[in-house]
Amino acid sequence: MRDNRKKDGWDEHQIVNKLKIYQEEHQRLTVLFNITRNISTELKLDKLLLIIMDEVRRALKADRCTVFLLDSERKELWSKVAHGEREIRFPSSLGIAGYVAKTGEILNIPDAYADPRFNQEIDKKTGYSTRNVLAFPMRNKLGEIIGVFQVLNKYEGLFSRQDEQLLDAISAIAATQLENAQLYEDQKTTLESFVGTLASTIDARDPLTAGHSNRISLYSDEIAKMINLPQKRREILRYAALLHDYGKIAIREAILCKNGSLSMDEYCHIQEHAMFTKNILKKIHFSRDFKEVPKIAASHHEKMNGSGYPEGLIGDQIPIESRILAVSDVFDALTSKRHYRDRMEFENVMDIMMNNAGTHFDRNIIDAFKKIRIDRLIEILEIDYIDQLRQEDLRYLAHFEVRHLLEVIKDGALNNEEDKMENLFYKYYQRKYFKSEDNEIQDDKIIGPSLKYANC
């Protein structure tokens, strides 16, 4: 019997062992806690994958970790590499990851090159040298395999039984969050296609305003970037922009598509579209984040001085996103061919926009609009002909903003650069870039100022 044994307890050796086990358990729980905390708020699939890969690599003290997700429809495994910029895909029957996805076995391979399932070609291509591999199936709550963890090159020694257990626990947490993220992205895709379809039904009703909703969403996003609107609000703005005129579905076609000026009654009927937009969109179930879409969309004809419709809201009562829509909407109406006129001269358009700053429009939003880069402005204006825009011209115009152009229009070009910028801008604005055989667009005339932008 050893000296240090106590009658009624553990000896020193046992205590040291127990302490070590507790320490390891504590370390394991800390790792799991940190991983749970770090991944629980991320719903973007790409980012989530990268976070999980990094966390696992650190937790297992290994050089690399890849999470492959199973795409059962295409029978492929896929992942993100190079900071999420590149996607890799391969048949789900190939390599170690493929084997694990198929069999559900855990593979702890001490010498990768000695295992026939290991595909040495990848190492040959990348110059990487794989020593050992721990590959682990990732299962959802139903026990179905949804992906595979592949961890490479333990820093010291080989992957242990403890590493497998730790990866088992991480896998359960990661699987839940990855499924949530996939579900969220699926829902977003469904909403996107639904909103896109609704927007195109409005375009289909009136071919002359075709593309209006899409362009509004693009101009609005440029403005949103200028005022640093948070990403979530930019998404809300996008949906509201695409749907802002949806109420026009309830406007009589004879009035909506009328050539020539409108009577007061007809004008009032058209104005009703904003309220219709709200009433129709309110019937759609928007999830918590997008609840404000109907109100934002319906308030695009409100004016800062309270003289707008449908509610006559004043200043800050108008949601910021609606104030953005108001600017984009009128700009697009004035720069598009309409029933009652063609594209207006750019200086007249901007005069109208600036003269109405403070009364109709929010001054800050007009200022933000002036900061839009000219290449982006042209890309949106001429989005239907985007393939015909010369990349070289756009790269040149990227050095200038709308406010620079306005200065040149007002004071004249001060140097060759400004002169070139102005010429390039008008080349696209006045559609001089079309070849003569493209007669449909050649027919467009640029006409003088008009304050009639009611039908937008």
Site residues, Fe ion (CB under 5 A): 245, 329, 456
Asked if 134 contacts 161 with a C-beta cutoff of 8 angstroms, the reply is: no
Q: How far is the CB of 301 from Fe ion (least distance, A)?
A: 6
Lookup: tokens for 132: 């050992």
Would you say 163 or 221 has its CB closer to Fe ion?
Answer: 221
Of the pair 52, 327, the CB lying nearest Fe ion is at 327
Q: Distance between CA 430 and CA 418 in Å, rounded?
A: 18
* Alpha helices, DSSP H, located in 250-360: 253-256, 264-271, 273-282, 293-298, 320-335, 346-355
Q: Minimum Å distance from CB 454 to Fe ion?
A: 9
User: Shortest distance, CB of residue 456 to Fe ion, whole angstroms?
Assistant: 4
Nearer to Fe ion, 88 or 255 (CB): 255
Considering beta carbons, is residue 35 or 274 the nearer one to Fe ion? Answer: 274
Residue 386: burial class (beta carbons within 10 Å; 0-12, 13-18, 19+): exposed
Taking the complex as a whole, the smallest distance from the CB of residue 42 to Fe ion amounts, in Å, to 36
At its nearest, how many Å lie between Fe ion and the CB of residue 344?
16
Measured CA to CA, the distance from residue 387 to residue 258 in angstroms comes to 32
CB of 252 vs Fe ion, minimal distance in Å: 16
User: Is the Cβ–Cβ distance between 98 and 69 less than 8 Å?
Assistant: no
Cβ atoms within 10 Å of 103's Cβ, excluding its own = 11
Q: What's 361's DSSP letter?
A: B
Give how far the C-alpha of residue 35 lies from the chain's centroid of Cα atoms, to the nearest Å: 25
Closest separation in Å from C-beta 277 to Fe ion: 8
Handedness of CA 208, 212, 215, 220 (dihedral sign): positive
Which residues are within 8 A (CB) of 279 and not within 5 positions of it... i.e. 6 or more apart? 247
3-class SS of residue 58: helix
| CB-based contact 145:139 (threshold 8 Å) | yes
When the beta carbons of 300 and 431 are compared against Fe ion, the nearer one is 300
The residue with its CB nearest to Fe ion is: 456
CB closer to Fe ion, 366 vs 456: 456
**Residue number, 148 or 251, with CB nearest to Fe ion:** 251
Which tokens go with 231?
A: 């990403």
CB of 276 to Fe ion, least distance (A): 10
Residues in a beta bridge with 152: 64, 133
Q: Which is nearer to Fe ion, 55 or 206 (CB)?
A: 206
Residue 86 is classified by DSSP as E
